[in-house]
Structure 1
Amino acid sequence: MSRLLRSLAGRVTLLTTIAVGLAVAFVAAGAFMTVRVQMQSTLDNSLLDRAQQATRTSALSQLSTDLKIPSWALGAGDIRVAFVYPDGKVLTPDQGPRLYIGEPEFAVAQGKRAYNIRTIAAGGTDYRVASVPAATPGEALVVAQSLEPQKQVLARLGVVLLLVGLLGVAAAGVSGWAVARNGLRPVRRLTVEVEAIARTEDLTPIEVHGDDEVGRLAAAFNEMLRALAASRDRQRQLVADAGHELRTPLTSLRTNIELLTQVDSPGAEALPAGARTELLDDVRAQIEELTTLIGDLMELSRHEPAAHLVAPVDLADVVDQALARVRRRAAGLVFDVDLEPAELVGDAAALERAVTNLLDNAAKWSPAGGTVTVRLADGTLTVDDEGPGIAGEDRDRVFDRFWRADESRGMPGSGLGLSIVRQVAERHAGRVDVEESPAGGARLVLALPVGAAAAAAGPAGPLGPRPTSPPPAAGPTARPATPPPAPPTTGGRP
């Protein structure tokens, strides 16, 4: 990670240097061109002013007779003049390199142009040439000035801009490196803390500094640590609770098996047939309890059910099948049932198990000859019993894994039945609640989205993609008279 941060700092520095270098280059080029254009404009204006002043001071014929440079040009060694006459003759008073007078200057002498300014080369030197008409028609005065002084100034300016630009780029690189290192310091600190957590597996939240992006990242990481710590605590609690719940039936099973083994050993006194049968029945019951507990644990460990089990389901059919099972195990109870069709998309097997756990829980706590009331309307299943009910302070814990009230310790069950109900409800975007029954017992309410509510949950809810086949047509649903055999399920009533 530290190598990655160094690479990131290097990239930030490089990008900063490139950006500043480009900016400096554009600014320097703009300044150079501005100065060059401004000097050119100043020189052109100066040449035109001098040429016009000369034409007003003296006639060209007089200048040509004296072959002298006028007083306005004296002391300016970089100034040269030439005279254009009506007969096309060109006279240069000085002895310098010949100025190549061309068509633009003749056009000025002939009155075709008011003036002309251009650059020409003479003797390896560039001159800026200005031509203006004289007082005598057909004559023109040409004033030329060397561009060497201007080139020297521009050359010095270019060197200065280059040096300043290089210094600016170097300063930008150093500043970018410093800013990158200081900016990545919180990231490096967070990296060190995260690496320490990964190395020590200590899920203590880290300290958050500030509310910037790194601070929000640290806060989000703390949320993840808390969730991970809670998950690990739940896992440890599940293992501890499962070990505790498995220890009791395993101890009893081992005791019974050892007793049967000792009785069957040579020389041991034989057990009466009734006692032996009772021991074997006890062993079978303990094996069934272990099987149920292991099945419940496997059900709770499922996070993503198989997609091929998801299909349109009538919750009323599911409740009918669960009632058929529970009635066989609770023959002494009366079931008051009123069911309305409720179409939804879900896992029929998981829903049946959840409903069975609710009914088993009510049957276990109902007195002999009592009534269990079952109602299904608008996708809400309500199960009322006539038992002692659930204390208000215990209602928030009845859906916890392995939690059981003190009065239920001696009763059958693993304490996982209602946990499975809650997990199935959440997987189907529903909920399960516990209330007080009007009959004085407990009321468990399983609410699932059906119809339009199920469609509003989205095309692929918590159970995975929905089938592409259309749901069955509305109308009476045929319910099996004889439900398929299934192993008994023990509810997890507290």
Structure 2
Amino acid sequence: MSNGDKTTGSAWTGLHYRRSLASRVTLLTTVAVGFAVSVVAFAAYATVRTQTINSLDESLRSRANQAASRDTLDVLAEQRIPSWALGAADVKIIFINASTNPAFLQSADTSDTFGLGRTEIRVARGLEEDSARTVYAAGERWRVVAVNAGEDQALVLAQSLESTDRMLDRLGLVMLLFGIAGMIIAGLAGWAVARNGLRPVRRLTASVEAIARTQRLEPIPIEGSDEVARLASAFNEMLRALAASQHRQRQLVADAGHELRTPLTSLRTNLDLLVQADAQAGLSAESRAELLDDVRGQINEMTTLIGDLVELAREEPVTPTVEPVELTAVVQQAITRVRRRADIEFNVRMAPWWVTGDADALERAVTNLLDNAAKWSPAGGTVTVTLHEGTLMVGDEGPGIALQDLPHVFERFYRSTESRSMPGSGLGLSIVRSVAERHGGIVRAGTGPGGGAGFWFSVPGSSVPPTDNDREVLVGS
């Protein structure tokens, strides 16, 4: 397509979509009805015209056959008796004698033979039984019918088409007027149908505009069960999802502010003590070291909290790396990391399991489960870790999870009464659930084999490592 064609097409598309839906419905209705009326009018006009000409031909042919059967045809031809004397005042009679060369043509009324020629001579010579055609003579259109009247003779009747043409012209004018009237009525009807039919759409549009203006995510009233009602229902579903997302965002901000307030207050208090002690020179080295360790711990806690908030604030990782991951290696790395900072033992039993996903996210989720188990286990206790057919179980020897807390352990910032005095932000298990769902898996909590808390983290995969073909498909996807 040339640049000019593209420009024209773009302009037409823009013009088409700048028109309102009601105007497009009206225009399409008018065009459709106009086309249908035109086709019907043309078909009716052609049918009437054909039937009128055929009826005229049959009338002329019948009269010509009756006249040609008389024995006095030669006498009539020789005496040039006018057509009105033969009961044919509305036609002209012509006699053809094809025995001579050239053929002898004689009109009973005038010397005008209406341009007769080879077609009528063929009828006179018996090559054709009869003929009918339209000729132009004396500025008029004539319908000429010729019938065989004996050996080398033919009788021709010619009738003017002036009255027929006037009738057809009037018929065409009437059909044109009716067609125009039909198009106008169709346009008005299309406009009325579009206006009334699109009234629910206008109400829906007004409701949506009101929601966009006021930002009040209230459901739209639904009337009926048609397509507009389905659209309104779908929009209400979107509003509910948007309201839930907005509520989660506000709750996240509120909870984050509440959780950050405590370490920030403690951090500010400790810094104020350090400043006052430096000013008064009355703080011992041990007290200073203790305060600095406290400040360092609070900074680490805030860093962890901010990292967890960033992880939960996004639906997907910023740069996800999807690849085959051996879950046993991920669990082993997480155990090594947690063992460095916790005085506990790990009882590990694992079977190979390959997962397609993000290795970093999986390691973070497993680390959070192990950190949670280490936090609740007594000093020198044992954390049980098993991996069997894609289900990772982490159990501790702590007090376990209370029944009233069990439904809420994976909620953001949820902390039981016992855990409020312990370090943590209440986001670790929420991250575990988010990672599990992102990998098509699930996580659940309960009582572990050691009587403490138990967590089961399941993700789909396979015990067989992927082949080279599987890796190529994974990379291509």
| Common fold: TM-score over 0.5 | yes
Matches within 5 A, 1:427-442: 427-442=438-453
Per-residue deviation, 1:431: 1.7
Aligned residue identity for 1:116: S
Quote the Cα distance in structure 1 between the aligned partners of 2:153 and 2:306: 120
1:260 aligns to 2:274 (yes or no): yes
SS at match of 2:94: strand
Higher helix share: 2
Quote the Cα distance in structure 1 between the aligned partners of 2:413 and 2:420: 11
Cα distance change of structure 1 residues 467 and 68 upon mapping to structure 2, 3 Å threshold: closer
Per-residue deviation, 1:380: 1.5
Quote the Cα distance in structure 2 between the aligned partners of 1:224 and 1:454: 41
1:206 aligns to 2:225 (yes or no): no
Quote the Cα distance in structure 1 between the aligned partners of 2:137 and 2:308: 106
Cα distance change of structure 1 residues 72 and 453 upon mapping to structure 2, 3 Å threshold: farther
Per-residue deviation, 1:273: 3.7
Quote the Cα distance in structure 1 between the aligned partners of 2:315 and 2:220: 30
Quote the Cα distance in structure 1 between the aligned partners of 2:376 and 2:115: 123
Question: 1:283 matched to which residue of 2?
Answer: 295
Question: 2:241 matched to which residue of 1?
Answer: 227
Question: 1:412 matched to which residue of 2?
Answer: 423
Quote the Cα distance in structure 2 between the aligned partners of 1:468 and 1:61: 100
Question: 2:13 matched to which residue of 1?
Answer: none
Quote the Cα distance in structure 2 between the aligned partners of 1:212 and 1:452: 50
Question: 1:374 matched to which residue of 2?
Answer: 385
Quote the Cα distance in structure 2 between the aligned partners of 1:49 and 1:178: 55
SS at match of 2:186: helix
Question: 1:137 matched to which residue of 2?
Answer: 151
1:390 aligns to 2:401 (yes or no): yes
Question: 2:36 matched to which residue of 1?
Answer: 23
Matches within 5 A, 1:145-184: 145-184=159-198
Residue of 314, 318, 329 corresponding to 1:302: 314
Cα deviation, 1:91-142, whole Å, max 9, x if unaligned, reads 21213744333122222222222112222222122221111222x4222211
Quote the Cα distance in structure 2 between the aligned partners of 1:454 and 1:146: 98
Aligned residue identity for 1:106: I
SS at match of 2:243: helix
Quote the Cα distance in structure 2 between the aligned partners of 1:62 and 1:468: 103
Question: 1:326 matched to which residue of 2?
Answer: 338
Per-residue deviation, 1:287: 1.6
| Percentage of matched positions with identical amino acids | 57
Question: 1:52 matched to which residue of 2?
Answer: 65
Contact 1:399/1:422, CA 8 A, preserved across alignment: yes
- Structure 1: stretches of 5+ with no match in the other structure: 470-494
Per-residue deviation, 1:195: 1.2
Aligned residue identity for 1:24: V
Per-residue deviation, 1:71: 7.2
Contact 1:203/1:229, CA 8 A, preserved across alignment: yes
Quote the Cα distance in structure 2 between the aligned partners of 1:52 and 1:452: 103
Per-residue deviation, 1:72: 8.0
Per-residue deviation, 1:4: 7.2
1:239 aligns to 2:253 (yes or no): yes
Cα distance change of structure 1 residues 398 and 5 upon mapping to structure 2, 3 Å threshold: farther
RMSD: 2.5
Contact 2:368/2:428, CA 8 A, preserved across alignment: yes
Contact 1:84/1:106, CA 8 A, preserved across alignment: yes
SS at match of 1:392: coil
Cα distance change of structure 1 residues 50 and 164 upon mapping to structure 2, 3 Å threshold: same
Aligned length: 455
Question: 2:26 matched to which residue of 1?
Answer: 13
Cα deviation, 1:242-281, whole Å, max 9, x if unaligned, reads 1111111111121222222222224x6x234433332222
Aligned residue identity for 2:62: D
Aligned residue identity for 2:292: L
SS at match of 2:224: coil
Per-residue deviation, 1:196: 1.1
Cα distance change of structure 1 residues 308 and 204 upon mapping to structure 2, 3 Å threshold: closer
Contact 2:334/2:367, CA 8 A, preserved across alignment: yes
Bigger RCO of structures 1 and 2 (CA < 8 A, at least 6 apart): 1
Contact 2:130/2:145, CA 8 A, preserved across alignment: yes
Cα distance change of structure 1 residues 121 and 260 upon mapping to structure 2, 3 Å threshold: closer
Quote the Cα distance in structure 1 between the aligned partners of 2:288 and 2:83: 147
Aligned residue identity for 1:380: T
Per-residue deviation, 1:172: 0.9
1:127 aligns to 2:142 (yes or no): yes
TM-score scaled by structure 2? 0.89
Contact 1:83/1:92, CA 8 A, preserved across alignment: yes
Residue of 92, 101, 117 corresponding to 2:132: 117
Per-residue deviation, 1:57: 3.6
SS at match of 1:409: helix
SS at match of 2:407: coil
Cα distance change of structure 1 residues 101 and 325 upon mapping to structure 2, 3 Å threshold: closer
SS at match of 2:20: helix
Contact 2:377/2:383, CA 8 A, preserved across alignment: yes
Cα deviation, 1:387-436, whole Å, max 9, x if unaligned, reads 22223343221111100111111111110110111112222222211122
Per-residue deviation, 1:29: 0.8
Q: Report the more deviating stretch, 214-223 or 387-396.
A: 387-396
Cα deviation, 1:23-56, whole Å, max 9, x if unaligned, reads 1111111111100100111111111110111123
Contact 1:82/1:141, CA 8 A, preserved across alignment: yes
Residue of 269, 273, 292 corresponding to 2:304: 292
1:68 aligns to 2:75 (yes or no): no
Matches within 5 A, 1:337-486: 337-451=348-462, 466-467=474-475
Per-residue deviation, 1:66: 4.3
Matches within 5 A, 1:66-105: 66-69=79-82, 73-74=86-87, 76-85=88-97, 86-87=99-100, 88-95=103-110, 97-105=112-120
Contact 2:365/2:432, CA 8 A, preserved across alignment: yes
Quote the Cα distance in structure 2 between the aligned partners of 1:185 and 1:199: 21
